[in-house]
A = this chain, B = another copy of it.
Amino acid sequence: MNFEHLLAGRTEMMGANAIREILKVVSQPGMVSLAGGIPSPDSFPMEIIKTLTENVMEKYGSDAFQYGLTEGFMPLRAALGDLLKERGISAAPEDIHVTSGSQGVLDGVAKILISRKDKIAVEAPTYLGAISAFNPYQPEYVCMDTDDGGVIPESLEAVLGNNAIKFIYLVPTFQNPTGRTLSLKRREKIAEIITRENALLVEDDPYSALRYRGSDIPPIKTLAPDHVVYISTLSKIFAPGLRIGFYAAPELMRKWLVLVKQGVDLHTSTFNQALAAEYLSGGYMKAHLPVIKALYKPKQEAMLSAIQKYFPKNFTCSPSEGGMFLWVRGPEGYDMTTLYQRSVEKNIAFVPGCYFYTNPMEGIETMRLNYTMSDVETIDAAIEKLSLIIKDVD
């Protein structure tokens, strides 16, 4: 039987994304991959997890394996309230819902808000997972300009002035793909704009805990609490395979997001939520986070200094104090997809930056480099090798 004629109109915008194709290439033996976007398995608290499973079995017994509330496992929501407090966000456990990865919130927000052809404001470049979540609801994207300081507030202002925008999507801290961070000043300006324009911001914050230098900057949620759906995840500070995301949102949004989640997966794994609750409330996360940062910091520094040392001077790297990525821009008109083809032949992979733009003509001279999955020596050698390929392509 051929089902093609049965497909709904919304599948038109649901093609496979280019990055997944790249990541397939990357798994070939011998490939040094700076292309991935995943945490190092060395960052997972494996010994702690053993203790957590024992604690959970002991403390919650069969409750940890039963159906649970769509909103989330209450001990975890309480622990997340404490985590958010440290980020300056005051939210009662009831105000925080747990989802199956932050992907689950992105799908939910899109489902309750986007009608076909509705306009969504996104950064250029932006996080592709969000685009995968939004696309099935057939929005149109309106891009906001960015520079090394992240999204430019005046561009947001212009976009809101010229379009009926359903919501704005931003990753303000150590953005994927650029590693860039919005300054407090820009955050204040954005908070002021969305409050004045009565706009809704979806603030996605997966990386802020992975800061290697400098000082924490408060989420925009703290500056305009009623206008922001704040999304985060434990994927980068616990274990991504457990699929624990969460959000703090105004009450009406929460009500609708729960109805969405009832239809999509009923609730997130109770057992995994209980493990996460123990990880946070038992003080294990506080003890383990420095271990993760100590793992990644030298990798990031190795990549930064290798780029400075080996890359041509007209290749510049966006400043970044944390997260998992660096963003390099070649000279104007330089085609990173050509470089990608050549470097893959020589067993080095990265992601050409153009794939992170909703307008596929943009960003051809950019590349995303991941440093979490390789060791310091490999990073140095790979960047040196990449620089030789760059010179060779010239």
Contact = CB atoms under 8 A, between A and B. Distances in A.
Contacts of A235: 67
Contacts of A64: 241
A181 interface: no
A112 B7 contact: yes
23 contacts: A1-B200, A3-B250, A3-B252, A3-B253, A6-B166, A6-B167, A8-B111, A11-B256, A17-B262, A41-B65, A44-B65, A49-B65, A100-B243, A100-B265, A100-B268, A103-B263, A103-B266, A104-B264, A107-B263, A136-B260, A243-B268, A264-B265, A271-B272
B8 A241 contact: no
B50 A62 contact: no
Interface stretch (A113-121, A169-177, A288-296, A341-349): A113-121
A49 B266 CA distance: 22
Contact of A67 (B38, B50, B250): B38
B241 A65 contact: yes
Given A6-B200, A103-B264, A136-B263, 13 more contacts: A6-B166, A8-B137, A10-B111, A11-B112, A39-B66, A41-B63, A49-B57, A65-B239, A65-B242, A101-B265, A107-B265, A271-B272, A272-B272
A42 B107 CA distance: 35
A103 B264 CA distance: 6
Interface stretch (A89-97, A127-135, A207-215, A324-332): A127-135
Contacts of A335: none
